[in-house]
Amino acid sequence: MPMPEWLRSRRSKNADARDAALWSKCPVCGEVLYRRDLAANLYVCTKCGHHFRMGAYDRISMLIDGDFTEIGAEVLPGDPLGWVDKKTYPVKLAGDKEKSGLSEGVVCGIGAIDGFEVALAVMDFHFRGGTMGTVVGDRITLLLEEARKRHLPCVIFTASGGARMEEGMYALMQMAKTTAAVARFMQDGNPFITVLTDPTTGGVSASFAFEADVIIAEPKAMIGFAGRRVIEQTIRQKLPDQFQTAEFLLEKGAIDMVIDRHDLKGTLVRLLQYTSGSTSVAL
């Protein structure tokens, strides 16, 4: 069974922390990239164009002009099931916080993209695989409610392994909660755009990710409902490499466009122009 791309990139981390801070190895072409060059190129491999996973704040600073007012930052995770496996859930969360520098798997807030004020949510795979628990559900819902109140467009960047197992049914119910917030937001005529980044699966892909007016994906992003491993176990055969990539979904008609990260901001701005209610857009 081939190792999924996201797992390969996670396992290929350089053991030496100081080196890792300076250099990154492209998981696809193997090129060793100077971290500063990589950042300057929006975390896209300068040799092969592989899109690295981005941290939420890197993404926000790539898109937002000036100030970004966070929403829901005070919402923090609890331990509703008292979950314990090899570690307790609070210990796992503390590790994710340390590793990602985030308090949870999504950062939400209001800011401007090229002058367009938007409600923006960015999920981050580095926190518990971007899984959706009560905090992700709550923050997304608070953002959609605020956007609805202020008639702002909403843009959500997804990156998620699905629902968070350690929060059990509370996690599953966040699909219902966020969907209800999306429905109210959209019924009022507000535009909703999602950008699916690597990976977007399970409870997140089967809720707000696929409820938007326009669905964009980054190149080669893995997108699907069931994980590759689950499907391979079910059908007992190896899946083609292209299966569940952004390009595959585009061909099957499930998403609107696949956009290179360098063109992403421009594309979002054009979509915001079409949908902002304006009757005349200056070129």
Backbone angles phi, psi at 53, to 5 degrees: -70, 140
Q: Which lies closer to other proteins via its Cβ, residue 24 or residue 245?
A: 245
Exposure string over 129-162, b if 16+ CB within 10 A, otherwise e: bbbbbbbbbbbbbbbbebbbeeebbbbbbbbbbb
Q: Which lies closer to other proteins via its Cβ, residue 23 or residue 83?
A: 83
Contact of 143 with 71, CB cutoff 8 Å: yes
Q: Which lies closer to other proteins via its Cβ, residue 229 or residue 270?
A: 229
Q: Taking the complex as a whole, how short is the minimal distance between the CB of residue 224 and other proteins, in angstroms?
A: 5
Q: Which lies closer to other proteins via its Cβ, residue 40 or residue 183?
A: 183
Q: Taking the complex as a whole, how short is the minimal distance between the CB of residue 275 and other proteins, in angstroms?
A: 19
End-to-end distance of the chain based on CA atoms, in angstroms? 50
Cis, bond preceding 27 (omega within 30 deg of 0) = no
CA distance 227 to 196: 15
Q: Taking the complex as a whole, how short is the minimal distance between the CB of residue 23 and other proteins, in angstroms?
A: 30
Q: Which of 57, 92, 52, 54 is nearest to 73 (CA)?
A: 57
Q: Which lies closer to other proteins via its Cβ, residue 57 or residue 210?
A: 210
Q: Taking the complex as a whole, how short is the minimal distance between the CB of residue 228 and other proteins, in angstroms?
A: 10
Question: What single letter denotes the amino acid at residue 79?
Answer: D
Q: Which lies closer to other proteins via its Cβ, residue 90 or residue 219?
A: 90
Q: Which lies closer to other proteins via its Cβ, residue 44 or residue 209?
A: 209
Q: Taking the complex as a whole, how short is the minimal distance between the CB of residue 249 and other proteins, in angstroms?
A: 8
Residues 6+ positions from 228 with CB-CB distance below 8 Å: 4, 222, 239, 243, 244
Q: Taking the complex as a whole, how short is the minimal distance between the CB of residue 218 and other proteins, in angstroms?
A: 16
Q: Which of 64, 33, 41 is nearest to 157 (CA)?
A: 64
3-state secondary structure of 234: helix
Q: Taking the complex as a whole, how short is the minimal distance between the CB of residue 238 and other proteins, in angstroms?
A: 11
